[in-house]
Structure 1
Amino acid sequence: MDLAARFRAIIDGFCKAVAVRGAARNLAPDTRALLLLLWTRLRRAAARFAILAAGAPPPRPRAPKPRPARPRAPDLPRRRGWILAPIPEAAGIAGRLRALLEDPATIALIGTDPRFGRLLRPLCRTLGLRPPPCLRRNRAPRAAPAFGTRWPRQTTRPTASNAPPRSGSPAPRRPVPDPAAPPRRAAPPAIARCADACPCPLLG
């Protein structure tokens, strides 16, 4: 059995378990709608896997077009393993999917097209599986900041005396003394100590 047929068999068993649980009468309407959305996504994933395994050509680059604002459609939960509680049979499905992803032929097939990762990573998260190394994204390391790009910290706060003049405004000048103004009186000399200028008689 080829890889596409094995993957379709896994998805068929998953869809059967979803359909059985979704047909229960005591199921909440929100959960029923969620399982219906999951069933649709699973069928789409099986068809997409078969197309990629057959060697689908890469998509053509298209210019981005502005899209009108639309209300956001309901989506599946992004919590890891959320399907294990409403559908306990999903644990067996997860084991079969893990065995498929550990097959060397599957690892080689996934390495040929990055679209397999975009298809299989959400399925692994739904079943509570950690993506194997062949499905992990290769994130580019962050570039370290260049040396000397950090500005030194300012230790003193700018005041009126050390603040630089604003651009476009002249620097303040010192006042020029007026020659016609009367001269200022000189300050009196410092007063000597009392013991030298006027000896105290109590100390004599």
Structure 2
Amino acid sequence: MDLAARFRAIIDGFCQAVAVRGAARNLAPDTRALLLLLWTRLRRAAARFAVLAAGAPPPRPRAPKPRPARPRAPDLPRRRGWVLAPIPEAAGIAGRLRALLEDPATIALIGTDPRFGRILRPLCRTLGLRPPPCLRRAPPAPKPRPPRRPRVRHPLAPANDPPNRLERATPLWLARAPPARA
């Protein structure tokens, strides 16, 4: 069985578990809406994976088109493994996905096209899996530090003062004090 078919079978099982839980009468309406959104995203992920696995050409760079303002679509939760509570069957699906991601053929396929990461990283997070090394993003480059300002000596300080005030034998205010009257 090729990788796209294996991934499709995993997603089909996941969608079936979502459908079983969504058909339950004891769910709140917002939970049903969340499961419908999850179902849609899973189906899109399976379709995108199949297209990429078939060898889709890289996307052509295009100028962004202005889009009319519209209300933002609802988001899925972002917590790692959030789907395991409402859909306990997802634990078995997570094991099947982990086995697929550990397959050398899958690792080689993911290494050829980084677009697989956009499909698989959110799915791993949803199921509570740590992404394998081939899916992990490189850490961002550290920001360059701003150049240090040159140290300016106080104009009243004597030239032979040590640079560190902690190393002075006597405090500067005592060194400049007028002589004591006798």
With normalisation by structure 1, the TM-score equals 0.71
Counterpart in the other structure of 1:112:
112
CA distance in 2 between partners of 1:28 and 1:155 (Å)? 69
Match of 2:149 among 136, 141, 151: 151
Q: Residue 70 of structure 1 aligns with which residue?
A: 70
Higher relative contact order (CA 8 A, sep 6+): 2
Q: Which residue number in structure 1 is paired with residue 98 of structure 2?
A: 98
Give how far 1:137 is off: 1.0
Code of the residue aligned with 1:100 in structure 2: it is L
Q: Residue in 1 aligned with 2:13? A: 13
Larger radius of gyration: 1
- Alpha-carbon displacement from aligned partner over 1:118-164 (angstroms, at most 9, x marks no partner): 01101001000111101011234225437xx21146786xxxxxxxx
Match of 1:184 in 2: none
- 1:30 Cα deviation from its structure 2 partner: 0.2
Question: 2-side partners of 1:37 and 1:89: how far apart?
Answer: 18
For 1:124, the equivalent position in structure 2 comes to 124
- Offset, 1:65: 2.3
- For the pair 1:54 / 2:60, whether they are aligned, the reply is no
Q: If each structure's helix is expressed as a fraction of its own residues, which one has the higher value?
A: 2
Query: Matches of 1:154 and 1:14 in 2, distance apart?
Result: 66
Deviation per CA, 1:9-28: give whole Å up to 9, x if none: 10111000000000000100
Unaligned runs of 5+ in 1: 157-204
What count of residue pairs does the alignment treat as equivalent?
155
Give unpaired runs (5+ residues) of structure 2. Answer: 155-182
Q: Distance in 1 between matches of 2:33 and 2:143?
A: 45
Q: Distance in 1 between matches of 2:106 and 2:152?
A: 59
Deviation at 1:48, TM superposition (A): 1.0
Query: Under a length normalisation based on structure 2, what TM-score does the superposition of the two structures give?
Result: 0.80
Matched to 1:141, the amino acid is A
5 Å-filtered alignment, 1:177-188, equals none
Alpha-carbon distance between aligned partners in 1 of 2:152 and 2:11, rounded to the nearest angstrom? 64
